Chains A and B, each alone.
Chain A
Amino acid sequence: MARTIVPIGPQHPLLKEPIAFQIVVEGEQVTDSTMRMGYVHRGIERLCQERTYIQNLYLLERVCGICSHVHAVTYCRGVESLLGLEVPLRATYLRALLCELERIHSHLLWLGMLARNIGLDTIFMYAWRDREIVLDIMEALSGGRVSHAINTIGGVRQDITPMQREVIWGQLDKLDQQVSRLLRVVEHERSLQARTRGVGHLSLEQVRRYCVVGPIARASGLDVDLRRDEPRPPYDRLNFDVVTHTAGDVWARTLVRMQETLVSVQLCREILRTMPDGPIAVSARRRVPPGEAISRSEAPRGELFYYIRSDGSDRPARVKIRTPTLPSLLSLQIQLKAITIADISVILSGVDLCIACADR
């Protein structure tokens, strides 16, 4: 068959957000691809310069839907660093609890999308049904299933009551059971493995040279996790494993994310168990002294980076955001070569794209 260009996006059943790939195929073989992003670019970095620090908090939560909380946390940490504030320990525990819940939510959502895109709707339905448990917990904690608005500069706005704690503890048990079962199904499901093994391979060296982060990097053997590598409360007091695999294909990424989900459930339990008492916020001034702050977090997709420069007023002079999806998009250049059309959906699902994050 002659050389044709198959457009994937900006609208395509495979994508949940708009991004355009032009895939050059010959028959069923992919020979090349180009990418165009920016369909959801909202100019957030520029908008930040025209809003106060507290207004930016609500803006930056909306960079992404799935990882909104970790964006807010990373931003707050940067501003708190500029203000010289020490956030109360209880607030860091509450922030971490929601971060881990968000990680579980993101990975379950991702598993559903991967399963749906390879025709295994059953696992999609199970994963999203289990995701409802997480959404209910998050709604109990913050009032919102996906968007929480629970952070403020200096801490968090809402505490957790002992009764909520009991209820959430029970739901975490249920979640543990369901996710373990899901992991067992995924591990033994041969048709899933047949579609994902050996597909989208990235070697450790490629991952390091292209500065790939997150579960994709860990699936190729790179042992990096900012929760452990940049220890801050509460992670410096919690025990958890960093999951890595060496195969570097979409199957390895599936295993890494699923096992990470179980680790996160454990972390949630430990956070609830060891949360200290105390205030949940300290007050913060409006005007931030001049300076620069860099804050990093381990978002569900990898390293989230914020650089904030203050010039002494109540508005930031520069806010720079680097989301983990950007290096993942770059890694697609390597992955979308010498494959078949059927593998495109597996690879695009495997990199867990969050285009709103990438475009800002």
Chain B
Amino acid sequence: MSTWFRILIFPGFAFLFIAALAFEWIDRRMIARFQGRIGPPWYQPLADLIKLLAKEDIVPEGTNKFAAAALPILSLTAVLTASLYVPVGGIKGASFEGDLIIVLFLLSLPALAYFLAGWVSSSIYSLLGGHRSLLQYFSYEVPFLMAVACPAILSDSWSITRIVSFQAQTAWHALMQPLAFVLALVGLIGKLKRDPLDIPKAKSEVVAGPLTDYSGRKLALWHLTMTMQTVLGIFLLVNLFFGESRFFNPMPALPIFGLKAAAILVALSTASALYARLRIDQLMDLGWRILAPLALLQMLVTLWIAN
């Protein structure tokens, strides 16, 4: 496959875009079923995006116009760049030793941009939301990084492709290091700011957090970034924890990959439907008193096994 095809179509941007819409639909539908509702039709996420693009783009007085326009583009760019290094069903974009670190770095940029979006906005709700998003970032990022490093340590490689093929010779990392998987999942909920960790944009507290004043195209770009980040985060977890397996490879790789990704999405949707939102101090408590020590424990165990 030519490089341009891989970047732009599959497993690149176009595929990511369609996957983002599909995942959002599955998520909303699942949560609706949990709540005794039916849920939106399949074209709803696309319709919402088109509607947002068509809406008036207002930038209130006092907001830094340049920053407000640049930040969503920056976030989207970071997510799209990270997608180049995340293999989908064995088909990889680019890869090199150390690409896991690049992906993790790129995926943390949207969180910073989200905070800045609140900082440059003139609304008190945006400022509060941004403040909370930073506190949340520090609470989940450390356990998440530690948890995600465990498969790398065990596989003796920082390349996602090698981690996947390592699992083909041994077993899924989710089975070998289940604690790491659970911690990575919780960290992902925090990273994606999903219920119960949607504290920075809690509607009943800070209206919409950092994005309160955004509308139209900018909001559409932010929304797209969030949904694509969801897809990419799930794909990353599938690669790291449910990579190829020598025991279980009946179908061609791509549909199996899709099933694994869908399974993780179901877990995320279930968590969203079942729990109330945490308070920020409860999250910080959870992150530092429980998640981080557990992640440390898992890392020590992994290091010991690896030697």
> Do A and B interact with each other, yes or no?
yes
Please provide the chain B residues from 119 to 164 with a CB less than 8 Å away from any CB of chain A in the complex. 124-125, 127-128, 131-132
Known interface pairs A6-B128, A27-B131, A119-B196; A194-B205 also in contact (CB < 8 Å): no
Partner of B276, one of A5, A194, A341: A194
Q: How far is the CA of A25 from the CA of B132 in the complex (A)?
A: 14
Are B276 and A340 interface neighbours, CB within 8 A?
no
Interface status of A189 (Cβ within 8 A of chain B): yes
Q: Contact: B36 with A340, CB < 8 Å?
A: no
Is A89's beta carbon under 8 Å from chain B?
Answer: no
List residues 110-125 of chain A with CB under 8 A from any CB of chain B: 115-122, 125
Contacts of A7 in B (CB 8 A): 124
Q: Give the contact-size bracket for chain A.
A: 20 to 34
Interchain CB contact under 8 A, A28 and B280? yes
Q: Map CB proximity to B onto A178-209 as digits: 1 under 8 Å, 0 otherwise.
A: 00000000000101101100000000000000
Q: How far is the CB of A259 from chain B (nearest CB, A)?
A: 20
| Residue contact B205 to A344, C-beta cutoff 8 Å | yes
Give residues 340-360 of A contacting B (CB, 8 Å): 340-345
Within the assembled complex, what's the spacing in Å between the Cα atoms of A28 and B279? 11
Residue of A nearest to B132 (CB): A28
Q: Any chain A CB within 8 A of the CB of B195?
A: yes
- Known contacts A345-B204, A345-B205; A120/B279 CB under 8 A: no
Asked whether any CB of chain B lies closer than 8 Å to the CB of A12, the reply is yes
Question: Whole-angstrom distance between the alpha carbons of A189 and B204 in the complex?
Answer: 20
**Beyond A118-B276, A340-B279, is A12–B207 a contact (Cβ under 8 Å)?**
yes
Contact call B35/A120, Cβ cutoff below 8 A: no
Q: Which of B207, B276, B280 contacts A119 (CB 8 A)?
A: B276
Residue A34 at the chain B interface, CB threshold 8 Å: no
Q: Check B36 against A125 for contact (C-beta < 8 Å).
A: yes
Given A1-B131, A12-B207, A14-B204, CB of A118 within 8 Å of CB of B37: no
Asked if residues A116 and B204 are in contact (CB atoms below 8 Å), the reply is yes
Q: How far apart sit A345 and B273, CA to CA, in the bound complex (Å)? A: 19
Which residues of B22-73 have CB atoms within 8 Å of chain A's CB atoms?
31, 34-37
Residue of A nearest to B279 (CB): A342
Q: Is A129 an interface residue (CB 8 A)?
A: yes
**Residue B277 at the chain A interface, CB threshold 8 Å:** yes
Cβ–Cβ contact A6 & B124, under 8 A: yes
Bound state CA distance, A345 and B198, in angstroms? Answer: 15
Residues of the B chain whose Cβ atoms lie less than 8 Å from the Cβ of A333 = none
B275 touches A120 (CB 8 A): yes
Docked complex Cα distance between A340 and B127 (Å): 16
Closest residue of chain A to B281 (Cβ to Cβ) is A340
Residue of A nearest to B131 (CB): A1
Whether A122 pairs with B273 at a CB distance below 8 angstroms is: yes
Residues in A whose Cβ lies below 8 Å from that of B205: 14, 341-342, 344-345
Q: Is the CB of A13 closer than 8 A to any CB of chain B?
A: yes
Query: Is the pair A125, B37 in contact by a Cβ cutoff of 8 Å?
Result: yes
Decide if A119 touches B34 in the complex (CB within 8 Å): no
CB distance from A31 to the nearest CB of B (A): 15
Q: A25, A121, A340: which has the most chain B beta carbons within 10 Å? A: A121
In the assembled complex, how far is the CB of residue A28 from the closest CB belonging to chain B, in whole angstroms? Answer: 6
**Nearest neighbor of A125 in chain B, beta-carbon distance:** B35
Could you mark each residue 274-307 of chain B with 1 if its beta carbon is under 8 Å from any beta carbon of chain A, else 0? 1111111110000000000000000000000000
B198 adjacent to A119 (CB under 8 Å):
yes
**Known contacts A5-B124, A192-B276: does B204 contact A121 (CB below 8 Å)?**
no
Chain A residue at minimal CB-CB distance from B35: A125
Q: How far is the CB of B285 from chain A (nearest CB, A)?
A: 10
> Which chain B positions have C-beta within 8 A of A169?
none
On chain B, the residues within 8 Å of A189 by CB distance are 276
Whether B202 sits at the interface, judged by CB under 8 Å, is: yes
The residue of chain A having its C-beta at the shortest distance from the C-beta of B197 within the complex is A119
Please, which residues of chain B bring their CB within 8 A of the CB of A191? 196, 275-278
Q: How close is A70's CB to chain B, nearest CB, in angstroms?
A: 28
A122 touches B277 (CB 8 A): no
Q: A195 to B282, alpha carbons, bound, how many Å? A: 9
Judged by a CB distance under 8 angstroms, whether A126 is at the interface is yes
Distance in angstroms between the alpha carbons of A192 and B48 in the assembled complex: 31
**Per-position contact with A for B251-283: 1 when CB-CB < 8 Å, else 0?**
000000000000000000000011111111110
In the bound assembly, the distance between CA atoms of A344 and B279 in angstroms comes to: 11
Check: A55 CB closer than 8 A to any chain B CB.
no
Encode contact with B along A265-296: 1 for CB under 8 Å, 0 otherwise. Answer: 00000000000000000000000000000000
A195 B279 Cβ-Cβ under 8 A: yes
Residues of A contacting B124 in the complex (Cβ-Cβ under 8 angstroms)? 4-7
Partner of A120, one of B207, B276, B282: B276
* Interface set of B (CB-CB < 8 Å, partner A): 31, 34-37, 124-125, 127-128, 131-132, 195-196, 198-199, 202-207, 273-282
Interface contacts beyond A4-B124, A122-B273, A342-B205: sample of 9 additional A-B pairs, CB < 8 Å, sorted by A:
A5-B124, A6-B128, A118-B276, A120-B277, A122-B274, A125-B36, A192-B276, A340-B280, A342-B277
Some 6 contacts from A to B, beta carbons below 8 A apart, are A115-B276, A116-B204, A117-B204, A118-B277, A119-B196, A344-B205
Identify the 9 closest CB pairs spanning chains A and B, nearest first.
A119-B277, A125-B35, A191-B276, A120-B276, A117-B204, A345-B204, A342-B279, A191-B275, A14-B204
